[in-house]
Structure 1
Amino acid sequence: MPLPAGALPRAVAVLSFSVLLGAAQRRPALSNLSASYWSRPHPVNMLNSYNVKFQHSKALTSPYPGSHIERSQVPEDKVGWLTEWKDYNPVEYTAKSVLARPSWADPQINHEGFSPKFNERDGEVERKSLNGLYVVENGRPRNPAGRTGLTGRGLLGRWGPNHAADPVVTRWKRDGSGNKVAHPVSGKNILQFVAIKRRDCGEWAIPGGMVDPGEKITATLKREFQEEALNSLQKSPEEKAKLEKQLQKLFSQDHFVVYRGYVDDPRNTDNAWMETEAVNYHDETGETMDNLPLEAGDDAGVVKWVDISEKLELYASHSYFIKLVTEKRGAHWSEDLGSECHEVLIKLVKLPVHRIHIHVVIFLKVMQEQLNWVVTSHKALVILKLLGDFVLLPRGTGQG
């Protein structure tokens, strides 16, 4: 069956995808090579992951952490501030621990002498949002992600953005012989990260914490990892110095910013919310972290290396951050090959024609052996529709 003009390059792209798929199913090592080549998200896209449209769900849950306070119910269609809701009646709550005026907390808005400079740096306190300007209404900053059913600050110290830093420390999972371990379904190598179990809520999370006034993000990232994953607060000066020297190699090497912006945190309110900068520090050989004994400290109850996959249930938006790391590293995330095939095919179709090489014999072989898989996959059918003006008939039609 002749193809319409211009259809052959696209057909070749589809069948090239099938070749890759077949190789992934039969030879995991080749799958890893493909993942390394294709999985390179642009850092700008990752930095702006929440910029198009904010969404939160954990910030709508009740009871509020550490209390019996129930939020006002916010229907999904009324979360956004642009939706008028005259009857909106949120609960006002700020924890007593915050009202006690510790060094990390602001006074109440109406407190004498307190005139915060929202949307700018206010002395040593950073009140600018990583997501741009936010609205200040009746003297209070407004959560850019929408209504939460709760006003005040809850457990958060600052009005407006509360800045944190999350170091995502990773290594490859290895067997007893030191070889990387590939997942039996995806064929991709399994990545591990240092996870802590939070004392406050019992959820697993990335070790991290608040940026102190005037502190650089890089300093916060290292400090929080030392405090929560290495228990540095309980170490002697000599032990601290040794840890610092060992960590310097890891934290001074190449790294990448996984995410910067709003965090869907259960502590968020209409007037105070969490923002973070999550940074991945990867120990490629595993040698650096093998010499550092993990020990839970500060806010962490437990610390350990955890295999990364989509089955992880982590605190706040941490699962999303971890997923971005696996995409960057070409590591295993999901056992559902459909979504990954979708992404690979899209990238193949965008390649210049001169970069899509396939011998006619392979073309025919793929037509015979692989096309059925493509046609019977729902997601591949969606992609075929995107490819446009040609039809590939299944075998047994008597045409071809």
Structure 2
Amino acid sequence: MIHGVVNSSSKRLLFLGNIFSQFLICDKMSLTTQSAFRVPLHCKARQSPYTGSKVKRFPVPEDMVPWSVEWPDYNPTTFTTEHVLSKPVWADPDISKNSKNKLKFNEIDGKVNRRSHMGKYKLQDSLPLNHAADPIVTRWKRTANNEKVKHSDGKDILQFVAIKRKDSGLWAIPGGMVDAGDTISATLKREFGEEAMNSLEATGKEKKAIEKEVAKLFRHGIEVYRGYVDDPRNTDNSWMETVAVNFHDDTGNSVGKFKLYAGDDAADVHWTDIGADLNLYASHISFIEKVATRLEAHW
């Protein structure tokens, strides 16, 4: 996978039109239970500068977002993060016009799944999707007497594990890229353990205890979303897709009882009350809303 490559093309491509025609243009509406496609389109993906850099994006106004709109003057910046240029093991090889490297899109390419959750995508000198997995771990907010805390609207307050990203400083669902040959379920458990429970630095005994409780909770996840993510790392020809799965600790006696420790790409971590006023990274607020609706919690 490309994992962080944010190259923009030198001309306006149309290869995403068949997928993203189902999405809304950027507005305040979010994912709802009525439709899995009510995700705002290219809002955070148009933020400037590029994540973790001072390089500015080519500005795209609302009326120019649809791929069906012709825009002869469109001339976006070509940019790749320094981290990817250092050639880490998870990054794809350079497949620019002058490169001999070739990748197989819309299919399984060796150990890498290059198929979209949204269907087949068209190609034109492009660098398409990156698959991620986002575990939404929840519990009920409780008093010292272990009673559920209710909101003024009469509904119980739900909490989820949120991490503060080091790259943007925004709060988010802990998650990460699906490595080549890895499964989504394995990625969900690994990323939660690394980012929210700091399993990378735990002792052998602590790590076994963490893995045991996480494995127990993660046996009963409910998928709430699968598809395109409005991610600030997206570009014309490289975008993020994810599978978001809710793992609910209803009694609070599983993962809910563990202390949270920020690790790996997380600067901080804590249990966060769920509500419509949350300001989260990428499309994460839409996934959280789905979970609150499913569990009939306050929103």
1:218 deviation in Å? 0.3
**Structure 2 counterpart of 1:281, one-letter code:** F
Measured on the aligned residues, the alpha-carbon RMSD in Å equals 1.6
1:94-109 matched pairs, under 5 angstroms? 94-109=80-95
Deviation string, structure 1 residues 274-310 (Cα, Å, up to 9, x no partner): 1110000000111112432211100111111000000
1:351-390 matched pairs, under 5 angstroms? none
Deviation string, structure 1 residues 306-347 (Cα, Å, up to 9, x no partner): 0000011000111110001001000000xxxxxxxxxxxxxx
| 1: CA distance, partners of 2:176 / 2:269 | 15
Other structure's SS at 1:246 match: helix
Other structure's SS at 1:248 match: helix
Which residue does the alignment assign to 1:218? 185
**Structure 2 counterpart of 1:94, one-letter code:** T
Q: Is the 8 A contact 1:121 1:127 kept in 2?
A: yes
Deviation string, structure 1 residues 108-157 (Cα, Å, up to 9, x no partner): 223644111111111111111111111211x21xxxxxxxxxxxxxxxxx
Which residue does the alignment assign to 1:49? 37
1:1-400 matched pairs, under 5 angstroms? 48-49=36-37, 55-110=41-96, 112-137=99-124, 139-140=125-126, 159-184=127-152, 186-253=153-220, 255-333=221-299
1:99 deviation in Å? 2.2
| 1: CA distance, partners of 2:41 / 2:99 | 35
Q: Is the 8 A contact 1:164 1:209 kept in 2?
A: yes
Other structure's SS at 2:243 match: strand
Other structure's SS at 2:268 match: strand
Other structure's SS at 1:135 match: coil
Q: Is the 8 A contact 1:172 1:189 kept in 2?
A: yes
| 2: CA distance, partners of 1:274 / 1:162 | 5
Which residue does the alignment assign to 1:7? none
| 2: CA distance, partners of 1:190 / 1:313 | 17
1:263 deviation in Å? 0.5
| 2: CA distance, partners of 1:162 / 1:290 | 30
Give the number of aligned pairs.
267
Q: Is the 8 A contact 2:234 2:240 kept in 1?
A: yes
Other structure's SS at 2:78 match: strand
**TM-score, with normalisation over the residues of structure 2?**
0.85
Q: Is the 8 A contact 1:193 1:306 kept in 2?
A: yes
Q: Which runs of 5+ in 2 are unaligned?
A: 1-31
Other structure's SS at 1:93 match: coil
Q: Which runs of 4+ in 1 moved over 3 A?
A: 110-113
More helix by share: 1
Other structure's SS at 1:160 match: coil
| 2: CA distance, partners of 1:214 / 1:54 | 31
Other structure's SS at 1:287 match: coil
1:166 deviation in Å? 0.5
1:229 deviation in Å? 0.5
Other structure's SS at 1:272 match: coil
1:54 deviation in Å? 6.5
**Structure 2 counterpart of 1:332, one-letter code:** H
**Structure 2 counterpart of 1:49, one-letter code:** F
Other structure's SS at 1:276 match: strand
Q: Over alpha carbons, which structure has the higher Rg?
A: 1
| 2: CA distance, partners of 1:172 / 1:54 | 28
Q: Which runs of 5+ in 1 are unaligned?
A: 1-40, 141-158, 334-400
**Structure 2 counterpart of 1:310, one-letter code:** A
